[in-house]
Structure 1
Amino acid sequence: MARDERSPDKRNGRSTPTSRDVAARAGVAQSTVSAVMSGKRAVSAETRARVERAMRDLQYQPNAGARTLRTAKTNVVALIVHLGPSADAAESVPYIDTIIDRARENDYEVVLSTVREGPEGIARLAGRSICDAFVLMDIQPDDDRIPAAHDLGLPVVLVGRPEDPRGLDVVDFNTRRSAELLVDELAITGHRHIAVLGEPADGHDHFRFVLDFYDAARARADLHGIDLTVVPRASDGWDGVVACADQLLAHRDDRLGLITRAPRVTEWLVRLLYDRHLVPGVDISLAAFCTDGTALSYPRPITNVSPRPQAVSNLAMELLFDRLEGAEGPPRLEMVEPRGLVRRATTALFFE
């Protein structure tokens, strides 16, 4: 879709008003302004009048590209998710599968982009006029894709919280509360030390939910008066876990509990414990932030808090279809809460 942003008016030194300005003045989403101009979805008479009045007040004139906005729906949603070499596909697949299922239930198809692209990738998909809406995953705090997504004039839902969502709808999971539940489990079962297997030492993982997880774990351990260390992996992959094993297991003989944050890392840690002849739930504890399916896939089922990927994705699609059907109102921030912790075989009970 062509953008209707225009260059500053050099004749009078003022910027020409944009659809964003119209949306702000009318108190509606930018996609509603686009709908009024294109007629691609129904807008109430009262809202249409408000938008048209704002256009007149601002002397807004859409450019030629905006006048040719398509009116035919494609019934396609673009899903942009990063599955690079260091990504844990086991984390992303449940989200992707749920989004595709929900789209098909509503007679939509999904175009999936798994390459980490900046604003250019969003602009390219939008420019082909093949999508009615976008879902963006792997949102970083200062994500350079968000301004481009905002300017599309299409419904967009972000899965993950940026510092500034620019008026877009956001769905996120409360990883802070998840970390607190994992630390609480080890505290109430008599552990003296907690080691959290962290991100690669040379990594550049700036996702807010990752930072929230570690920050909350440290704060909760301080509250309980328990020693907690976040141990960075020496590098990504199995060798990076082996390289930090001695630091991770330093207190193995003094009521040590381990916490992991991702399915693949949990798998590596289980392997490490068996290599070191340590039985999780007997010699040492292991509590993971992973789905119930992952937790139950091991011979000794793992104590866990689930990130509830289906709930997060279902809510994101609910918001998206609300906007596609003409729902108005301010941008929404929806947080999915953990259901709680499930104690399984890997919790050792170190009571006095």
Structure 2
Amino acid sequence: MPTSRDVAKLAGVSQSTVSYVLSGKRPISEETRRRVEGAIAELTFQPNAGARALASQRTQVIGLVAPFGVTSDHSGLLPFIETIARRVREHDHDLLLVTNDEGAQGLVRVAGRRIVDALVVMEVEARDERIPVAAGLDVPVILIGVPDDPAGLPCVDLDFEAGGAMAVAELAESGCRTVAVLGYSAAEIDRGINYVTRFHEGVEREAARRGLPLTTLSPVELDRASIDAALDEVLSAEDEDGELPGLVLPHTEGVAGVLRALADRGLVPGEHLNVVAMSTDAAAEEFTTPLTNVSLEPRDVSRRAVDTLFRLLDPDRSAADGDVPGVELVHPRLTRRASTPARPASGAALPHTA
């Protein structure tokens, strides 16, 4: 197995220079760095993680606290976790998964044992018991989500208020004269997830600005009976011309169930009523009628969170770049698809729904 001494010999440098290239602790000329990296690649040298940790007092590991409870939408987590893992590896670190069910004690355990250099905490609640504990740890912590009191911790999240406003604006622009929101589940509301409140504030603000009558049904569970009951109420609200309200679907995990219930009623998004969903682009495109969506931008949120975390781990870089933002909101992006035609589908014959 090749050693750092072998790398130094092949590159024509000292062993300490190889160490400096690996650790980044001292500036190395670009020409020397290329020679060392070329030797590493040629010898397929793998630095000893334990030795590097002792030398740098770093573990080269980032902890990710992610929700894996029974109510979690695991498919929605994957783009976040994949991007975080890839970005962490680009910084020559590994990722350690810590599940939410460990609560604040999980943070204390991994930080207290010095098995991570920093922590990313996902799905933050409005009044999250982990925040005061996280703020007192001696490792950097960044939150994906915005609690009521971040306690000085940096936060990165989607701008859900802007997303709610964009969904209503799209329905208005596509000709809808009323709007209905099939809200989040009771589990999300009861947990006090901050994005729920921010999303509804954006919806209400934009509907009021445009003078659009708004109906919000909340909570709406994921089971078929709950979805049917919500749709029964929404679809009974035809205006005097027989037009149905535009639908906003914020609960990503519930979109497929709503579309199945609409199909069973003979209703096609974009033909009989307009629909906008909060979802990833991949999910929006997979339905029979591709949905107009406000993207959750999971990869952008994750990239920004990891990049901010490594600024915290490198005080010199942080000082050069300026202060780390307290709360950074990623602006959402709306993509129009078949569920919101550019012009209202007036005159489309509505199927019998009685």
- TM-score by length of structure 1 reads 0.76
Deviation of the 1:240 alpha carbon: 2.3
**1: CA distance between counterparts of 2:324 and 2:275?**
39
Residue number in structure 1 paired with 2:108: 123
Instruction: Give 3-state SS (helix, strand or coil) of 1:117's partner.
Output: helix
1:229-284 C-alpha deviation (Å, 9 max, x unpaired): 11124534333212322113223542321011132211111111101110111011
Given that residues 233 and 240 in structure 1 are in contact (C-alpha distance below 8 angstroms), is that contact kept between their aligned partners in structure 2?
A: no
Residue number in structure 2 paired with 1:211: 197
Deviation of the 1:156 alpha carbon: 0.9
Q: Which amino acid is 1:103 matched to?
A: V
Deviation of the 1:107 alpha carbon: 1.4
1:156-213 C-alpha deviation (Å, 9 max, x unpaired): 1111111222221111211111111110111122212211111235751411111110
Residue number in structure 1 paired with 2:77: 92
Matched, 1:153 2:138: yes
Pair member with larger Rg: 2
Instruction: Give 3-state SS (helix, strand or coil) of 1:244's partner.
Output: helix
Residue number in structure 2 paired with 1:276: 265
**1: CA distance between counterparts of 2:130 and 2:161?**
25
List aligned pairs for 1:57-136, cutoff 5 A.
72-136=57-121
- Name which of 224, 249, 256 aligns with 1:267: 256
Poorly superposed stretches of 4+, deviation over 6 Å = none
List aligned pairs for 1:131-210, cutoff 5 A.
131-201=116-186, 203-210=189-196
**1: CA distance between counterparts of 2:229 and 2:95?**
41
Could you tell me which runs of 5 or more consecutive residues in structure 2 were left unpaired when the two chains were aligned.
Answer: 1-22, 26-53, 347-354
Given that residues 63 and 95 in structure 2 are in contact (C-alpha distance below 8 angstroms), is that contact kept between their aligned partners in structure 1?
A: yes
**1: CA distance between counterparts of 2:149 and 2:218?**
29
**1: CA distance between counterparts of 2:228 and 2:131?**
38
**Structure whose residues are more often helix by fraction:** 2
**2: CA distance between counterparts of 1:325 and 1:170?**
18
- Name which of 228, 233, 256 aligns with 1:247: 233
Deviation of the 1:220 alpha carbon: 1.0
Residue number in structure 1 paired with 2:299: 310
- Name which of 336, 339, 343 aligns with 2:330: 336
Deviation of the 1:351 alpha carbon: 6.9
Given that residues 139 and 162 in structure 1 are in contact (C-alpha distance below 8 angstroms), is that contact kept between their aligned partners in structure 2?
A: yes
RCO comparison, higher one (Cα < 8 Å, 6+)? 1
**2: CA distance between counterparts of 1:236 and 1:282?**
24
Given that residues 282 and 346 in structure 1 are in contact (C-alpha distance below 8 angstroms), is that contact kept between their aligned partners in structure 2?
A: yes
Deviation of the 1:72 alpha carbon: 2.3
Residue number in structure 2 paired with 1:28: none
Bigger shift: residues 82-91 or 209-218: 82-91
Q: Which amino acid is 2:173 matched to?
A: I
**1: CA distance between counterparts of 2:220 and 2:337?**
29
1:66-98 C-alpha deviation (Å, 9 max, x unpaired): xxx996211111100112112222322111110
Bigger shift: residues 87-96 or 245-254: 245-254
Paired residues, number: 287
**2: CA distance between counterparts of 1:201 and 1:319?**
33
Deviation of the 1:298 alpha carbon: 1.2
Q: Which amino acid is 1:319 matched to?
A: T
Q: RMSD in angstroms over aligned alpha carbons? A: 2.4
Instruction: Give 3-state SS (helix, strand or coil) of 2:102's partner.
Output: coil
**1: CA distance between counterparts of 2:204 and 2:125?**
22
Q: Which amino acid is 2:75 matched to?
A: A
**1: CA distance between counterparts of 2:55 and 2:151?**
24
Could you tell me which runs of 5 or more consecutive residues in structure 1 were left unpaired when the two chains were aligned.
Answer: 1-39, 43-68
Bigger shift: residues 94-103 or 324-333: 324-333
